[in-house]
Homo-oligomer: A and B are copies of this chain.
Amino acid sequence: MGDLNESALLQRIFPRLAAVSGVVVGPGDDAAVIHAPDGRTVLSIDTLVEDHDFRLHRASGFVTTGYDVGWKAAAQNLSDINAMGAQPTSLVVSLTLPKKTPVAWVEDLADGFSAAILALGAEGCGIVGGDLGAGPVVVVTAAVTGSLDGRKPVLRSGAQPGDVIALAGTVGRAAAGLALLEANLAVEALEETSVHLIHLQCRPEPPLAAGPAAGRAGVHAMIDISDGLLRDANRVAAASGVAIDLDPVVLERLADPLRHAAQLLRTDPLSWVLGGGEDYGLLASFDQTVTLPAGFIAVGSVSAGAPRVRCGSLAPAATGWDHFAD
């Protein structure tokens, strides 16, 4: 980036961003102005840090591209809006970059952001602004806004005894992909299902149609599974003051697509199902009389009692990711 100043770099990035339409003020001024049609705006922020949330280069030769990082930053932010039952409306992005970062890497990152927005079905959501600065490692922070289109926000706290617990999207795949990467196996030597797990670690696919659909169906509570099924289910149980039972038969079935990778790494695929985050699926609590919206499957039930999550006879050690855990 040595030959480009901040303005010149921004001029290279802007044209690559998902087209911004329907905003009051787009990129280029002190701030953007977006529509908030129902008089409310949903708002969240999330960060990816090099060497903590991704590694640019691994001993195996595997390279995380700018495109991957842009895609993942978009996906994890869009997922927070999804979890409220809302539709994403805009992103603002702050990039901290080492001075040695190639301009092409930054352009690739912008392409990844735009591609994720379109591929995941958030067409209406443009990148309306940003900030650019230097630092020792790559740090990508995005803030995202969303619209509830007149509906109630879906909180973690609304689960009720008798509810059905349902899952949209996948669990454990990104975690399995990460484990494969950390094993430093040569990616070329892996079979297709393992390569796909690595792909999903780099470019997760939150089910963005499912959140608003759940909202329209009157879902009682919802969370996105970013820190692991057990840990995030525990958050719903704690916020709602209920007990949650996950069906061990369903959990075993969710582990099926992971068994090949688990054999390769000699580990239990259930640990990925229960403890793996970053697939950005949705865990939702529906009234038992509701027909589950497309994309959801039943995975458990809610009962009265002290907040806790049980998985039948399974006694998992994995409880999810903590940035500051030892």
Using a CB–CB cutoff of 8 Å, the interface residues on chain A facing chain B are 1-2, 4-7, 9, 24-25, 28-37, 39-47, 49-53, 80-81, 83-84, 86, 90, 92-94, 96, 99, 128-137, 139, 141, 143-146, 148, 153, 155-157, 222-224, 239, 322-326
Contact = CB atoms under 8 A, between A and B. Distances in A.
21 contacts: A5-B324, A6-B325, A7-B322, A24-B153, A25-B153, A31-B81, A33-B153, A34-B41, A41-B41, A43-B92, A43-B128, A43-B145, A45-B131, A49-B133, A49-B134, A49-B135, A50-B135, A51-B136, A52-B135, A132-B323, A134-B324
Contacts of A44: 30-32, 92, 129
A252 to B, nearest CB: 28
Given A30-B83, A33-B148, A136-B137, 20 more contacts: A1-B324, A5-B322, A5-B325, A9-B324, A25-B155, A30-B84, A31-B42, A31-B144, A32-B43, A32-B44, A35-B40, A43-B90, A43-B128, A47-B133, A47-B139, A132-B323, A134-B324, A135-B137, A139-B141, A145-B145
Contacts of A40: 24, 33-36
Contacts of A9: 324
Contacts of A94: 45-47, 141
A75 to B, nearest CB: 14
Contact of A134 (B25, B96, B128, B323): B323
A236 to B, nearest CB: 11
Contacts of A135: 49-52, 137, 139
A37 B325 CA distance: 41
A96 B49 contact: yes
A94 B73 CA distance: 13
The 6 A-B pairs of least Cβ separation, nearest first, read: A143-B143, A36-B36, A31-B44, A30-B83, A45-B92, A141-B141
A150 to B, nearest CB: 12
Nearest to A1: B324
A324 B94 CA distance: 15
A143 B92 contact: yes
A6 B45 contact: no
A34 B29 contact: no
Contacts of A25: 84, 153, 155
B45 A36 contact: no
A35 to B, nearest CB: 6
Nearest to A79: B30
A195 B2 CA distance: 35
B80 A31 contact: yes
A133 B51 CA distance: 12
A167 B38 CA distance: 36
A279 to B, nearest CB: 15
A90 B33 CA distance: 14
